[in-house]
Structure formats: structure tokens, C-alpha cells
Structure 1
Amino acid sequence: MSNKGAKNRTVFAGVALVLGVLLLISVNLLGNAAFRNLRVDLTEDRLFTLSDGTHGLLGSLGEPLLLRLYYNHSLANDYPTIRDYARRVRNVLAEYVAASNGMITFEVMNPEP
């Protein structure tokens, strides 16, 4: 009887583990679908929060716009200030893209020096 009880507990633990993993995957998929466009700016100075005026301008674009950032990665590696600034510019431009309802595309060009 003790052996049968141990076997039942093992089966129960296995089933509980599988159900737990399935629940975790389901919650992850539902959360991803529900909050796909949710963007939160957690920086202290709200660096990546666009103003109402910027949202209005981006919402009123009449034709598609292509933004290009010309940034040489190999040269910037020697200058941390430039590298950090370029990262901030990329992040802000990514916010413009996200707020433009598909009217803005953005690409980074890596020109040769």
C-alpha cells in the first residue's frame, strides 16, 4: 500500500508540474497578446516619453517618412559619449516609429570612415 501511495504521489506531482508549465505558457502568451503595444518609460527623467505635441504631429503625418541614423560603430567604440548618445537617439527614434502608426520607418546606416 505504501508503494502504491508513493507511486500516486509521483504521478500527481508529474501531472501538477505539466499543468503548471502549461499555465505559465498560457499566461505568457495571453500577456504578450494583450500588452503587445504597451510601452513604459521607467527612466528617471522620462527620457523616452513623447509629448502630446509630438504624438499629434506623428499622428497627422500625410505620407510615410524614412528616418536614417548614420552611425559608424567602429569609430564610436573609441568614444563612449558618442556611443551612449547614439543609443539614446536610436531609442527616441524607435519611440517615434512606435507612435507613428506605421508612417515612420527607421534604419541605422553604418558608413565607412
Structure 2
Amino acid sequence: GVKQLIVGVNKMDNTEPPYSEPRFEEIKKEVSNYIKKIGYNPAAVAFVPISGWNGDNMLEPSDKMPWFKGWNIERKEGKAEGKTLIEALDAILPPSRPTEKPLRLPLQDVYK
């Protein structure tokens, strides 16, 4: 299953007023409640306000959202923090690969 989540709150340039902190917090609260119901820990999810059209908070921090101090996630492997979507993607931990165990291949069909 899915072990790690990132929530990009897109179209922040389209809120009223543009880049609205209350709107971001409202969406963050609603989504946090939902992901808690389905079994995720909201403290382990990065919420990033972005504008894909304008590139805000995608690769570099946006000066249009001075209220956004960054995202913080807490997980058993440690903490991570950042301000942009690319930093959140870079903070994703790769799955462990049990390379010390024997290789097993499932057999699905036999062809003659």
C-alpha cells in the first residue's frame, strides 16, 4: 500500500484573495480529517500550497505566500522539513529492499 503522502494544495493563485492563508488552512484541516479517517497520520503528511500555473512553491519558495513558513513531517524514521514541493518529494523515503534474502519469483503459467 501507500506508506507516504504529500498533499499539494494547487491553484493558490485562484483563491479569493489570491494566495489566501485562511483558504489553505481550511483545505488542510478538511484533508487532514479525511486522511485520518482512512488510517494516515496527518503529522506525517507534507501540505504544500502551490500554484502550478505560476510555479509558486514548486521548485523555489514563493514570495507571494510569506505566511507559509514551510511544511514539517514527523515519522518514526525521523523528521523532515522544507518549503517547496520538490523538497517534499525529495523527503520521500525509498522502500527497503531485502537484498540479503533469497530471490523468489512467482510462477504464473507454464508454456509448452
Shorter-chain-normalised TM-score: which range? under 0.3
Higher strand fraction (1 or 2) = 2
The structure with the largest alpha-carbon Rg is 1
Higher helix fraction (1 or 2) = 1
Ranked by relative contact order (alpha carbons within 8 Å, sequence separation 6 or more), the top structure is: 1
